[in-house]
Amino acid sequence: MGRKVNVIGVGMTKFAKPGESEDYHVMAGKAAKAALADAKVDYKLIEQAYAGYVYGDSTCGQRAVYEVGVTGIPVVNVNNNCSTGSTALFLGRQAIEGGLAECVLVVGFEKMEKGALGSKFDDRTNPLDQHAGLMMKLQGFNNAPPAAQMFGGAGREYRWKYGTKKETFGQVSEKARKHANNNPYALFSNVLSLEEIMASPEVFDPLTRYQCCPPTCGAAAAVLCSDEFAKKHGISNPVYIAAQTMATDYRSSFDEDSMIKMVGYDMAKNAAKSLYEKAGLGPEDVQVVELHDCFTANEILTYEALGLCKEGEAEKFIWDGDNTYGGKYVTNPSGGLLSKGHPLGATGLAQCTELVWQLRGTAEKRQVPNAKVALQHNLGLGGAAVLTMYRV
Domains of the chain with bracketed CATH: 5-114+214-391 (3.40.47.10)
Conformational region of residue 312, where left means phi above 0, alpha means psi within -120 to 50, and beta covers everything else: left
**pLDDT score of 370:** 95
Nearest to 331 by CA among 273, 292, 386, 378: 292
Task: Return the exposure string of 68-101: e unless at least 16 CB atoms fall within 10 Å of the residue's CB, then b.
Answer: bbeeebebbbbbbbbbbbbbbbbbbbbbbbeeeb
**pLDDT score of 139:** 52
Inter-axis angle of helices 128-139 and 146-162, nearest 10: 50
Tell me the H-state helices in the chain: 24-39, 60-65, 84-97, 128-139, 146-162, 166-180, 194-199, 227-232, 252-255, 259-262, 265-279, 296-305, 314-319, 336-339, 344-360
184 backbone dihedrals φ, ψ, rounded to 5°: -70, -10
CA 334/CA 176 separation, integer angstroms: 8
**pLDDT score of 248:** 98
Nearest to 158 by CA among 302, 301, 318, 323: 301
Residue numbers annotated as active site: 82
**pLDDT score of 41:** 96
CA 323/CA 326 separation, integer angstroms: 9
Is residue 216 a contact partner of residue 343, using CB atoms and an 8 Å limit? yes
CA 245 to chain centre: 14
Inter-axis angle of helices 265-279 and 296-305, nearest 10: 40
CA 321/CA 5 separation, integer angstroms: 34
CA 43/CA 65 separation, integer angstroms: 10
CA 253/CA 270 separation, integer angstroms: 13
**pLDDT score of 119:** 45
List the pLDDT tens digit at each of the 392 positions of the chain. 689 999 999 999 999 999 999 999 999 999 999 999 999 999 999 999 999 999 999 999 999 999 999 999 999 999 999 999 999 999 999 999 999 999 999 999 999 987 655 543 333 344 455 555 555 555 555 678 899 999 999 999 999 999 999 999 999 999 999 999 999 999 998 999 999 999 999 999 999 999 999 999 999 999 999 999 999 999 988 999 999 999 999 999 999 999 999 999 999 999 999 999 999 999 999 999 999 999 999 999 999 999 999 999 999 999 999 999 999 999 999 999 999 999 999 999 999 999 999 999 999 999 999 999 999 999 999 999 999 999 99
Answering whether pTM is above 0.85, one says yes
Nearest to 250 by CA among 272, 274, 270, 275: 270
Residue type, 206: P
CA 371/CA 369 separation, integer angstroms: 6
Give just the sign of the alpha carbon dihedral 153, 309, 349, 13.
positive
String of DSSP letters for 144-196: S-HHHHHHHHHHHHHHHHH---HHHHHHHHHHHHHHHTT-TT-S--S---HHH
CA 384/CA 382 separation, integer angstroms: 7
